[in-house]
Amino acid sequence: MNEQLGIGMTSQRTRDRLIAQLQELGIKDQRVLSVMRKVPRHLFMAEALASRAYENTSLPIGHGQTISQPYMVARMTELLIEDGLPENVLEVGTGSGYQSSILASLVPRVFSVERIRPLQDQAKKVLADVGFRNINFKHSDGGWGWKVCGPYQGILAAAAPVEIPMNLLEQLVVGAKLIIPIGEEGKQVLQRVTRTEAAYEVETIEPVSFVPFLKGRA
């Protein structure tokens, strides 16, 4: 849209620069890079911030929340799909809907839970406008997961609880992965938890900084 206005802040060239940065930061999965090159991130934020949409940074989306940093979206998605594309994914923390759009570009069905109603309503609208038809939304505390639509072949959380929520683990099929930041603010790490026949295998990936995983609906 802005291309037509000749502004260029959201042009394909600007987007390609972000993709080059993600590669420099170690993102290798071509499937992830390819969808991130196409999805218009500037539509998932207030117009006043759109000129910064293709910087590798998180940005405010209101209600004290942020749209995740592109590197983090790429990294989490890469970790989720490394061993194959899941058929269905549960996302906790719809936020702006940007991460949902990346997931929905790669997997057949996405189920997205958000505790702040106005954020989810806005995300729903943008995602419908952009043309996504394979995302289901629920206004709820993601600590419960979304049991009736599960179990899931993958779960991704964009807010950090202090401990891994049991409900999320229970809604994974055997072999599936949960990608989640864990820990108190200032000392969080990204973890990948794989459900095995008998237990769960936890890998600690890297230090991260996410908003806290809060209880209840707002």
Contact 195, 171 (CB under 8 A): no
What whole-number distance in Å separates Cα of residue 163 and Cα of residue 183?
A: 7
Residue with tokens 């620069």: 17
The token duo for 101 is 């759009």
Q: In the window 103-142, what residues touch ligand SAH (CB under 6 A)?
A: 113-116, 119, 141-142
Residue 68 annotated among the catalytic residues of the structure:
yes
**Of residues 189-218, those binding ligand SAH (CB under 6 A):** 211, 213-214
Identity of the residue, 10 or 65, whose beta carbon is nearer to ligand SAH in the bound complex: 65
Q: Tell me the residue number closest to ligand SAH, measured at CB.
A: 95
Distance CA 104, CA 207 (A): 26
Question: Binding residue for ligand SAH (CB under 6 A) from 10, 14, 99, 101?
Answer: 99
Instruction: Estimate to the nearest angstrom the gap between the alpha carbon of 82 and the chain centroid.
Output: 16
Q: Please tell me the distance from the alpha carbon of residue 195 to that of residue 217, in angstroms, as a whole number.
A: 28
Task: List all residues 6 or more positions away from 202 whose beta carbon is below 8 Å from its beta carbon.
Answer: 164, 191, 192, 193
Catalytic annotation, pick one of 11, 34, 58, 68:
68
Considering the complex, state which of residue 66 and residue 153 has its C-beta at the smaller distance from ligand SAH: 66
Which residues between 24 and 83 bind ligand SAH (CB under 6 A)? 65-68
Given the complex with ligand SAH, which of 143 and 183 has the nearer CB atom? 143
Residues labelled as active-site residues: 68
Chain residues in the site for ligand SAH (CB under 6 A): 65-68, 92-93, 95-96, 98-99, 113-116, 119, 141-143, 158-159, 211, 213-214
